[in-house]
Amino acid sequence: MKPYQALIWSEWRQMRNNVMTLGGVTILLWLLMLIGCGDKTLAEYIEMGALALALGLPLLYSIVLADSFAREFSQKTDSFLLELPVSPTKIFFCKYFINLAVFLVLVILEVQLMRLTPGRHFDELHFEDAIMASVTVVLIWILAHSMVFLTSLLSRKTGNGIVAIIILPLPLILLLPGTMAATMFFANDETVWYAAVILLTLLTLYSFCVGLSWYLWTSRISRGLKILKPAIIAFCLLFTLPWALYGIAYYYTTLELNAAIREAKQTGMKQVFEPPVPASPDSQTAAAAINKLGKEYDRFLHDKSLEIGLFGRYERTRKFSFSPAELEKLTKTADSILNSPEMRDFSNIMENIQRSNDFRFMPCYRLNPAQINLSTYFELEMICINCNHLLGHKAIALLLKGDEKGFFECIGKFDALLAALRKDPMGCLKANEINMLEKKLSLASIGPDTPEAVKYYEQYLKDIDTINLLGPDSTLFILECMKNSDFIPRLMLLWGTVYEAMHNALARCLYLPRFQQGQAAWLKLEIRKNELIKHARQAASYQDIKTEEYQFEQLSAKIPGLFNHFYRSGYFRQTGIFEYFFHKSRFGEFKIQLALKIYRAKHGKFPDSLQQLIPEILPKVPLNPLTGTSFGYRTEKDGFILLTGPRSWFEYHPLKNWEKTK
């Protein structure tokens, strides 16, 4: 043990002056902050100073202590080794770990002192974030210590610690491609992946610094040999291997994505783009105008504090009943809506669309398909939402005013809008089309029960039978949107706020293999989903295919990266298994509701049971596709209640007889 005691004592003699100085300075700074806390105006600055010192002082410790460690290696190597009959490896690790232990003791002292300073501290973040952040910061401190030592050892002199700290981000960033490529196939969740990338990067660089220092000390310095050549080789390997791994990952994910696209096209998924066509002068007006009107109309409702009751309640709860006083308020609201400038402008736009039978949506993608991105996708969705909103409110307002002809003409504009949208290669995605059809039939289901209305309801029943819930697949369109989107996330790169431009460029570059991996996995899942939907069309109810959907959901949990979030959050699942049966159930409800209204218009009352609709109006009563059972039905005064699920229902009372039913 005597050689090791001599090593420890020698190391302590090299460090003790620096250790005492660093400890004294740390305690003095802490005392000064405590004194400053007496002035409340300085509280914010004291809190910021304590946080800055808690993070920065350990870097100073690493510079001073690692320099002290390197000094003996670089200046007293030969004489010291001759005195101690111990292998160079044992000398290296004995002295290194003693130096590291003293460094950690100082760090613990400093952190504990800063915690005693009033104010919010680094570890008072969210529990999970604090653990990850704390581990990362501690590893950076230890890494800085080893980096300073390696730098001093390479230069054969002390005083280069600041240089080591300044260049520390560079090797970390250069290592990221390799660590990201090595971990991307083992972590589906983005948070877990980010944590694995950061920790593996820090540990890899730390192992490199310690391993290279050990090699240079034991095989080169202790023998009096030069270290330039092996150091250059080591650093070349450090900086080239990660990018080689990145290249392999990028090549593999590219092949995987291309194979998934080919398979998708073979299964019937279609590309929805057309060759670029010239834009007409007015082609940029409709989309922007409708979205602008949607915002202005919402602001109009808010500023006027209008009572919109029926205008939104029938969609949210699917139940409506009002007292005469409430109905009077709604009628006044209808007047305000119909006379608003926003509704007049929207009516003019719809007249132009109906007359030209061309929506002329988004000229930018026709001129340059590469401009299509997720913003385009969501803008299209927003346009359809605004059309539903404005047309729906206008139709209800006309109904409350007793304008039966205007009510059905307004509903008919949904057909004109859909016809125009279908002419556009990407204007009417299936999800938007289904939502617009549901809105149209929701409005029709509360329409008047007059003989004049029967022809409209009979036509709507025919239209329901022609609705294709699957329709043209938009998967490849969504994929193209994602590929062109500025949607690559900002990665958790160290010092990202300092090197902002490099940070953004690297984030987009480094994330590409992961992004392609997610695209390929998502496409394969979409192929599987379409197969299940084909099975679903043959199933009597959702219950018959529920097990298969559960297995499908288990597969969706394995999608890597952002696509896992997209799929599970429902952004791109509007034609999924459950959604298919849900929409099928909705259109079955509309079918029964319209048939009941036709029956009342012809017979003056609602039937006692749904079987009385057969065969005069319906060839058969549809079952609820979600449960495989019949829809519940009962008459109530002058209306009816249709039970559509365990906790959902549709209650109907004709507006003309509202007061009598109350």
Q: Please compute the mean of the pLDDT values over residues 126-140 and round it to a whole number.
A: 71
Selection from 13-27, 68-82, 348-362 with the highest mean pLDDT:
13-27
In a domain, 10, yes or no: yes
Q: Please compute the mean of the pLDDT values over residues 455-462 and round it to a whole number.
A: 91
Amino acid letter at 400? Answer: L
Per-residue pLDDT of 136-148, as tens digits, reads 888 888 888 888 8
92's tokens:
């290296």
Q: Which of 194, 178, 181, 187 is nearest to 132 (CA)?
A: 194
pLDDT, position 628: 82
- DSSP state letter for 585: H
Per-residue pLDDT of 629-645, as tens digits, reads 888 898 887 788 888 77
Task: State the virtual CA torsion across 562, 564, 569, 575 in degrees, nearest 10.
Answer: 110
Q: Is residue 454 scored above 70 in pLDDT? A: yes
pTM, two decimal places: 0.65
- The full DSSP string for 103-154 is HHHHHHHHHHHHHTSSS--TT-S-HHHHHHHHHHHHHHHHHHHHHHHHHHHH
Q: Is residue 558 scored above 60 in pLDDT? A: yes
Local structure of 343: helix, strand or coil: helix
pLDDT, position 552: 74
Q: Please compute the mean of the pLDDT values over residues 432-457 and round it to a whole number.
A: 87
Per-residue pLDDT of 256-283, as tens digits, reads 988 988 888 787 776 554 444 444 444 4
User: What residue numbers bound the domain in which 48 lies?
Assistant: 2-167
Question: Residue holding tokens 């909705």?
Answer: 586
In a domain, 40, yes or no: yes
In a domain, 551, yes or no: no
Per-residue pLDDT of 26-74, as tens digits, reads 888 778 777 777 666 666 677 777 777 777 888 888 888 777 666 655 5
Q: Output 372 or 454, whichever has higher pLDDT.
A: 454
pLDDT, position 252: 93
Euclidean distance between CA atoms 445 and 651, whole angstroms? 10
User: Of all residues in the chain, what percent carry a pLDDT higher than 90?
Assistant: 7
Q: Please compute the mean of the pLDDT values over residues 245-257 and round it to a whole number.
A: 92
289 — alpha (psi -120 to 50), left (phi > 0) or beta?
Answer: alpha
- Binning pLDDT at 50, 70 and 90, where does residue 563 land? low
Task: State the virtual CA torsion across 141, 145, 147, 151 in degrees, nearest 10.
Answer: 150
Contact by Cβ (8 Å): 150, 235: no
- Binning pLDDT at 50, 70 and 90, where does residue 652 land? confident
Q: Is residue 187 scored above 90 in pLDDT? A: no
Give the CA radius of gyration of the chain: 36
pLDDT, position 70: 60
- The full DSSP string for 274-304 is ----PPPTTTTTHHHHHHHHHHHHHHHHHHH
Euclidean distance between CA atoms 392 and 415, whole angstroms? 13
In a domain, 24, yes or no: yes
In a domain, 120, yes or no: yes
**Which residues are paired to 641 by β-bridges?**
634, 651
Local structure of 497: helix, strand or coil: coil
In a domain, 371, yes or no: no
Q: Which of 468, 387, 465, 395 is nearest to 434 (CA)?
A: 468
In a domain, 74, yes or no: yes
Selection from 116-130, 331-345, 447-461, 567-581 with the highest mean pLDDT:
447-461
In a domain, 567, yes or no: no
- The full DSSP string for 226-252 is --HHHHHHHHHHHHHHHHHHHHHHHHH
Per-residue pLDDT of 467-517, as tens digits, reads 877 655 566 666 665 665 554 444 333 334 444 544 455 667 788 888 888
- Binning pLDDT at 50, 70 and 90, where does residue 251 land? very high
Contact by Cβ (8 Å): 46, 33: yes
**How many structural domains compose the chain?**
1
